[in-house]
């Protein structure tokens, strides 16, 4: 790229797979009506949206079995390209497209299952039980069916449809989140417009409390960033997680009131959470590099769930990948909390005080308080953010 921003992963220029030419897209949508078609899984649809947006650069489509196994086992494609998680289109039954060389992929998340993409079918392969088990263990570090990522990965099916895709729309993300959903191409344009070269990305699937707010601020200062981008997941989560529109509203309120103007951009991406901990942190780094960020904040138990991963596994995995695999750097963050003795938000590793001096509220306790209409402590959450969340939780009680 000659725009002065960090280079995308694996290529000099970004290669989004969305068909941006209106006439060509119209022709492909018409062609899709006559092609053999299949309704794909939510995870595959999210992969298509990420490919469309340029986030999964330089991939041209869905991986085949050999590529998926190589990525799961070695974190690289047979070509040598570093990649931490298989990007696949897996279905339970492919009989509707048997023998087809070109197919329409239908969206499971939009009413009427409209065509999301057209795929050139290079192969249709069956994943054996042993291969699925091995890949699951490598990607998620566990075979426990209670792990939401493992459950989703193992229930999608075992028929793998590989080949390049042309993506015709961004699913429900543009209509549901018009102010927030942005492609990697659009985010690079925002950075250029802002004159930002050094940018810190903050990943979130939750509302941001004061500790998160301070973490973004600390990270910007630590690397001398021109700006920060809060990049929130807008796709499918596990039950009990806060919906994206509620998170979005509370984060916007926090940035508007508590950050200097023009220092933070709020954006989102269309992907379903994997909860794959360390492997997912690496994937997060790839697509943040593709959107032009130079740094990604990786905190405690980044992209984790339950106690499947150690608190810093998602940081140490960056020490285990080949040198030069990524151009982006990470900001290694510890747990940030309010310390009653410091009378400030601190990173635990930098604070001389003990756990009993910290204000620590579990997610369950926070949800309980908000559901009862109890104010969260101002040291924990900004009152304006707490108000947005309280309204949501109280609406659930009715």
The residues assigned a catalytic role are 205-206
Residue 117 pairs with which residues in a beta bridge?
105, 167
DSSP symbol at 181: B
What angle, rounded to 10 degrees, do the helices at 383-397 and 244-258 form?
160
What angle, rounded to 10 degrees, do the helices at 129-140 and 65-74 form?
40
Listed in sequence order, the residues at least 6 apart from 60 whose beta carbon sits closer than 8 Å to its beta carbon are: 15, 17, 164, 165
Both tokens assigned to 164:
């390049």
* Strands annotated E in the chain: 37-39, 61-62, 90-91, 102-106, 115-120, 123-126, 159-167, 199-204, 227-233, 264-269, 295-298, 329-332, 336-339, 344-347, 358-359
Place of tokens 């009413």: 111
DSSP symbol at 258: H
| Cβ pair 260, 275 in contact under 8 A | no
């Amino acid at each position: 790229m000659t725009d002065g921003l960090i280079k995308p992963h694996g290529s000099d220029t970004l290669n989004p797979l969305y068909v941006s030419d209106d006439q060509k897209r119209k022709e492909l949508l018409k062609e899709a009506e006559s092609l053999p078609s299949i309704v794909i899984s939510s995870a595959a649809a999210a992969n298509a949206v990420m490919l469309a947006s340029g986030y999964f650069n330089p991939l041209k489509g869905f991986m085949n079995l050999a590529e998926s196994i190589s990525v799961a086992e070695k974190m690289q494609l047979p070509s040598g390209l570093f990649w931490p998680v298989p990007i696949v289109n897996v279905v339970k039954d492919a009989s509707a497209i048997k023998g087809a060389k070109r197919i329409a992929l239908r969206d499971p998340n939009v009413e009427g299952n409209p065509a999301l993409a057209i795929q050139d079918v290079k192969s249709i392969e069956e994943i054996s039980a042993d291969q699925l088990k091995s890949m699951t263990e490598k990607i998620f570090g566990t075979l426990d069916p209670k792990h939401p990522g493992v459950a989703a990965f193992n229930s999608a099916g075992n028929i793998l449809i590989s080949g390049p895709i042309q993506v015709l729309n961004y699913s429900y993300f543009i209509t549901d989140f018009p102010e927030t959903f942005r492609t990697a191409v659009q985010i690079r344009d925002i950075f250029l417009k802002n004159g930002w070269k050094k940018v810190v990305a903050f990943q979130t699937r939750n509302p941001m409390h004061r500790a998160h707010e301070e973490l973004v601020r600390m990270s910007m200062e630590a690397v001398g960033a021109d700006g920060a981008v809060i990049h929130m997941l807008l796709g499918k989560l596990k039950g009990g997680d806060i919906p994206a529109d509620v998170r979005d509203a509370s984060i916007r309120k926090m940035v508007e009131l508590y950050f200097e103007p023009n220092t933070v951009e709020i954006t989102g991406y269309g992907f379903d959470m994997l909860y794959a901990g360390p492997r997912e942190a690496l994937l997060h780094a790839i697509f943040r590099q593709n959107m032009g960020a130079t740094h990604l904040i990786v905190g405690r138990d980044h992209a984790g769930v339950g106690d499947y991963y150690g608190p810093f596994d998602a940081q140490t995995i960056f020490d285990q990948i080949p040198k030069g695999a990524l151009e982006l750097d990470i900001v290694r963050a510890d747990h940030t909390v309010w310390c009653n003795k410091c009378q400030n938000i601190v990173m635990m590793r930098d604070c001389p005080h003990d756990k009993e001096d910290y204000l620590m509220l579990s997610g369950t306790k926070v949800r309980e308080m908000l559901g009862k209409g109890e104010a969260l402590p101002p040291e924990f959450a900004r009152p304006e953010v707490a108000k947005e969340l309280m309204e949501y939780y109280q609406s659930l009680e009715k």
